Chain A
Amino acid sequence: QQQVKQSPQSLIVQKGGISIINCAYENTAFDYFPWYQQFPGKGPALLIAIRPDVSEKKEGRFTISFNKSAKQFSLHIMDSQPGDSATYFCAASRDNNDMRFGAGTRLTVKP
Protein backbone atom coordinates (compact mmCIF):
# COMPACT_ATOMS: atom_id res chain seq x y z
CA GLN A 1 0.00 0.00 0.00
CA GLN A 2 2.94 2.35 0.66
CA GLN A 3 3.31 4.35 -2.50
CA VAL A 4 5.10 7.31 -0.96
CA LYS A 5 8.37 6.89 0.93
CA GLN A 6 9.47 9.67 3.24
CA SER A 7 12.79 10.33 4.96
CA PRO A 8 14.14 10.98 7.48
CA GLN A 9 11.86 9.68 10.22
CA SER A 10 13.09 12.37 12.58
CA LEU A 11 15.11 15.51 12.21
CA ILE A 12 16.70 17.88 14.70
CA VAL A 13 17.70 21.32 13.50
CA GLN A 14 19.03 24.39 15.25
CA LYS A 15 16.98 27.55 15.19
CA GLY A 16 17.74 29.47 12.02
CA GLY A 17 18.88 26.36 10.15
CA ILE A 18 17.41 24.69 7.08
CA SER A 19 15.18 21.63 7.48
CA ILE A 20 15.02 19.28 4.50
CA ILE A 21 12.57 16.40 4.17
CA ASN A 22 12.51 14.10 1.18
CA CYS A 23 9.84 11.98 -0.47
CA ALA A 24 9.74 9.54 -3.35
CA TYR A 25 6.68 8.20 -5.11
CA GLU A 26 5.98 5.29 -7.42
CA ASN A 27 2.78 5.98 -9.31
CA THR A 28 3.39 8.21 -12.33
CA ALA A 29 -0.34 8.97 -12.45
CA PHE A 30 -0.02 11.15 -9.36
CA ASP A 31 -0.46 14.79 -10.23
CA TYR A 32 -0.76 16.58 -6.90
CA PHE A 33 1.91 16.65 -4.19
CA PRO A 34 1.04 18.40 -0.94
CA TRP A 35 2.90 18.72 2.33
CA TYR A 36 0.96 18.64 5.58
CA GLN A 37 1.98 19.80 9.04
CA GLN A 38 0.54 18.08 12.09
CA PHE A 39 0.78 19.14 15.71
CA PRO A 40 -0.02 16.70 18.54
CA GLY A 41 -3.76 16.25 19.02
CA LYS A 42 -4.60 18.03 15.77
CA GLY A 43 -5.43 16.93 12.28
CA PRO A 44 -2.97 17.53 9.44
CA ALA A 45 -3.02 21.02 7.96
CA LEU A 46 -2.01 21.81 4.39
CA LEU A 47 1.28 23.68 4.27
CA ILE A 48 2.15 23.91 0.60
CA ALA A 49 1.48 21.87 -2.54
CA ILE A 50 2.85 21.48 -6.05
CA ARG A 51 1.77 20.03 -9.37
CA PRO A 52 4.28 18.30 -11.68
CA ASP A 53 4.29 21.05 -14.30
CA VAL A 54 6.65 23.14 -12.15
CA SER A 55 9.95 22.21 -10.52
CA GLU A 56 9.77 24.53 -7.53
CA LYS A 57 7.22 26.40 -5.46
CA LYS A 58 7.97 28.81 -2.68
CA GLU A 59 5.65 30.21 -0.03
CA GLY A 60 7.37 32.26 2.64
CA ARG A 61 9.97 30.11 4.37
CA PHE A 62 8.65 26.91 2.78
CA THR A 63 9.82 25.61 -0.61
CA ILE A 64 8.92 22.43 -2.49
CA SER A 65 11.44 21.13 -5.01
CA PHE A 66 10.06 18.63 -7.49
CA ASN A 67 11.98 16.25 -9.75
CA LYS A 68 9.53 14.51 -12.08
CA SER A 69 12.07 12.24 -13.79
CA ALA A 70 13.37 10.96 -10.45
CA LYS A 71 9.85 10.81 -8.97
CA GLN A 72 11.07 12.72 -5.94
CA PHE A 73 10.09 15.89 -4.14
CA SER A 74 11.31 17.63 -1.05
CA LEU A 75 10.32 20.25 1.48
CA HIS A 76 12.80 22.90 2.55
CA ILE A 77 12.08 25.02 5.62
CA MET A 78 14.36 28.02 5.70
CA ASP A 79 15.22 29.85 8.94
CA SER A 80 13.61 27.06 10.97
CA GLN A 81 11.90 28.20 14.17
CA PRO A 82 10.93 26.31 17.35
CA GLY A 83 7.29 26.85 16.37
CA ASP A 84 7.96 24.72 13.28
CA SER A 85 8.47 21.70 15.53
CA ALA A 86 5.80 19.26 14.34
CA THR A 87 5.34 16.16 12.24
CA TYR A 88 5.44 16.73 8.49
CA PHE A 89 3.80 14.45 5.95
CA CYS A 90 4.29 14.41 2.23
CA ALA A 91 1.48 13.05 0.13
CA ALA A 92 0.62 12.29 -3.45
CA SER A 93 -2.65 11.84 -5.25
CA ARG A 94 -4.35 11.88 -8.59
CA ASP A 95 -6.58 14.92 -8.78
CA ASN A 96 -6.38 15.28 -5.00
CA ASN A 97 -8.64 12.34 -4.31
CA ASP A 98 -7.41 9.26 -2.47
CA MET A 99 -4.28 10.78 -1.08
CA ARG A 100 -1.31 8.54 -0.23
CA PHE A 101 0.73 9.82 2.68
CA GLY A 102 4.32 9.21 3.65
CA ALA A 103 5.07 7.88 7.12
CA GLY A 104 5.95 11.32 8.47
CA THR A 105 9.01 13.20 9.73
CA ARG A 106 9.12 14.47 13.28
CA LEU A 107 10.94 17.79 13.19
CA THR A 108 12.42 19.33 16.31
CA VAL A 109 13.87 22.81 16.08
CA LYS A 110 16.14 23.58 19.02
CA PRO A 111 16.27 27.17 20.27
Chain B
Amino acid sequence: DTGVSQNPRHKITKRGQNVTFRCDPISEHNRLYWYRQTLGQGPEFLTYFQNEAQLEKSRLLSDRFSAERPKGSFSTLEIQRTEQGDSAMYLCASSLVGAKNIQYFGAGTRLSVL
Protein backbone atom coordinates (compact mmCIF):
# COMPACT_ATOMS: atom_id res chain seq x y z
CA ASP B 1 0.00 0.00 0.00
CA THR B 2 1.52 3.33 -1.01
CA GLY B 3 -0.94 5.61 0.77
CA VAL B 4 -0.36 7.76 3.84
CA SER B 5 0.33 5.56 6.83
CA GLN B 6 -0.26 6.56 10.43
CA ASN B 7 0.76 4.73 13.59
CA PRO B 8 -0.58 3.81 15.98
CA ARG B 9 -4.22 3.68 14.90
CA HIS B 10 -5.41 4.03 18.47
CA LYS B 11 -3.73 5.35 21.59
CA ILE B 12 -5.14 5.39 25.09
CA THR B 13 -3.20 7.32 27.67
CA LYS B 14 -3.60 8.81 31.10
CA ARG B 15 -3.76 12.53 31.64
CA GLY B 16 -0.30 14.01 32.05
CA GLN B 17 1.49 11.42 29.95
CA ASN B 18 3.37 12.20 26.75
CA VAL B 19 2.36 10.60 23.46
CA THR B 20 3.97 10.49 20.02
CA PHE B 21 2.34 9.69 16.70
CA ARG B 22 4.04 8.86 13.44
CA CYS B 23 3.04 9.65 9.87
CA ASP B 24 4.63 8.15 6.78
CA PRO B 25 3.58 10.16 3.73
CA ILE B 26 3.27 8.96 0.18
CA SER B 27 6.82 8.64 -1.10
CA GLU B 28 8.02 11.64 -3.12
CA HIS B 29 5.41 13.90 -1.51
CA ASN B 30 7.24 16.96 -0.27
CA ARG B 31 4.44 18.46 1.82
CA LEU B 32 3.07 16.93 4.98
CA TYR B 33 0.16 18.26 7.04
CA TRP B 34 -1.23 17.52 10.48
CA TYR B 35 -4.90 18.03 11.37
CA ARG B 36 -7.01 17.34 14.43
CA GLN B 37 -10.60 16.13 14.14
CA THR B 38 -13.04 15.94 17.02
CA LEU B 39 -16.29 14.01 16.90
CA GLY B 40 -18.85 15.59 14.61
CA GLN B 41 -16.46 18.24 13.34
CA GLY B 42 -14.30 18.78 10.31
CA PRO B 43 -10.52 18.47 10.49
CA GLU B 44 -8.72 21.50 11.94
CA PHE B 45 -5.37 22.46 10.52
CA LEU B 46 -2.45 22.21 12.94
CA THR B 47 0.75 22.56 10.96
CA TYR B 48 2.50 21.67 7.72
CA PHE B 49 5.99 20.95 6.42
CA GLN B 50 7.61 21.37 3.09
CA ASN B 51 10.42 18.85 3.11
CA GLU B 52 11.95 19.23 6.57
CA ALA B 53 10.92 22.86 7.09
CA GLN B 54 7.87 23.59 9.23
CA LEU B 55 6.23 26.41 7.27
CA GLU B 56 3.11 27.18 9.24
CA LYS B 57 1.64 26.48 12.66
CA SER B 58 -1.94 27.08 13.75
CA ARG B 59 -2.71 28.89 16.99
CA LEU B 60 -4.35 25.56 17.96
CA LEU B 61 -0.88 24.11 18.30
CA SER B 62 -0.10 24.95 21.92
CA ASP B 63 3.37 24.75 23.47
CA ARG B 64 2.61 21.17 24.51
CA PHE B 65 2.50 20.12 20.87
CA SER B 66 5.56 19.68 18.73
CA ALA B 67 5.93 18.27 15.26
CA GLU B 68 9.06 17.28 13.40
CA ARG B 69 9.99 16.00 10.00
CA PRO B 70 13.73 15.53 10.42
CA LYS B 71 14.71 14.11 7.05
CA GLY B 72 11.83 15.37 5.00
CA SER B 73 10.19 11.96 4.94
CA PHE B 74 8.17 10.70 7.93
CA SER B 75 6.89 13.06 10.59
CA THR B 76 6.14 12.78 14.29
CA LEU B 77 3.64 14.70 16.37
CA GLU B 78 4.29 14.75 20.11
CA ILE B 79 1.87 15.91 22.76
CA GLN B 80 3.36 16.51 26.19
CA ARG B 81 1.40 16.45 29.44
CA THR B 82 -1.76 15.30 27.71
CA GLU B 83 -5.12 16.72 28.79
CA GLN B 84 -8.59 15.25 28.32
CA GLY B 85 -9.29 17.99 25.78
CA ASP B 86 -6.57 16.51 23.56
CA SER B 87 -8.77 13.48 22.89
CA ALA B 88 -9.38 13.53 19.15
CA MET B 89 -8.45 11.93 15.84
CA TYR B 90 -5.10 13.20 14.58
CA LEU B 91 -4.93 13.10 10.81
CA CYS B 92 -1.91 13.37 8.59
CA ALA B 93 -2.00 14.28 4.91
CA SER B 94 0.66 14.62 2.24
CA SER B 95 0.85 16.30 -1.13
CA LEU B 96 3.21 16.97 -3.99
CA VAL B 97 3.69 20.62 -4.79
CA GLY B 98 3.24 21.19 -8.49
CA ALA B 99 0.98 18.17 -9.02
CA LYS B 100 -2.15 20.16 -8.10
CA ASN B 101 -0.99 19.88 -4.49
CA ILE B 102 -3.86 17.50 -3.71
CA GLN B 103 -3.81 16.41 -0.08
CA TYR B 104 -4.12 12.69 0.54
CA PHE B 105 -5.13 11.73 4.07
CA GLY B 106 -4.16 8.82 6.26
CA ALA B 107 -6.69 6.95 8.38
CA GLY B 108 -5.63 8.87 11.48
CA THR B 109 -4.58 8.10 15.04
CA ARG B 110 -7.39 8.18 17.57
CA LEU B 111 -6.18 9.49 20.92
CA SER B 112 -8.17 8.93 24.09
CA VAL B 113 -6.93 10.69 27.22
CA LEU B 114 -8.40 9.24 30.42
Question: Which residues of A are at the interface with B, using a C-beta cutoff of 8 A?
Answer: 1, 4, 6, 36, 41-46, 49, 89, 91, 95-104
Contact = CB atoms under 8 A, between A and B. Distances in A.
A48 B56 CA distance: 25
A95 B31 CA distance: 13
Contact of A96 (B44, B56, B101): B101
Given A43-B4, A43-B91, A101 B103 contact: no
Interface residues of B, number: 27
B103 A96 contact: yes
A101 B40 CA distance: 12
A49 B93 CA distance: 17
A96 B102 contact: yes
Contacts of A102: 42
A46 B43 contact: no
Interface of B: 4, 33, 35, 40-45, 48, 55-56, 58-60, 91, 93, 95, 100-108
Given A44-B91, A100-B45, A103-B40, 19 more contacts: A4-B42, A6-B42, A43-B4, A43-B93, A43-B105, A43-B108, A45-B104, A46-B104, A49-B102, A96-B95, A97-B48, A97-B55, A98-B45, A99-B43, A99-B103, A101-B42, A101-B44, A103-B41, A104-B40
Main secondary structure of the interface of B (DSSP, over half): loop
A103 B56 contact: no
Nearest to A96: B101
B102 A46 contact: yes
Contacts of A97: 48, 55-56, 101
Given A43-B91, A103-B42, A104-B41, A98 B58 contact: yes
B102 to A, nearest CB: 6
B102 A98 contact: no
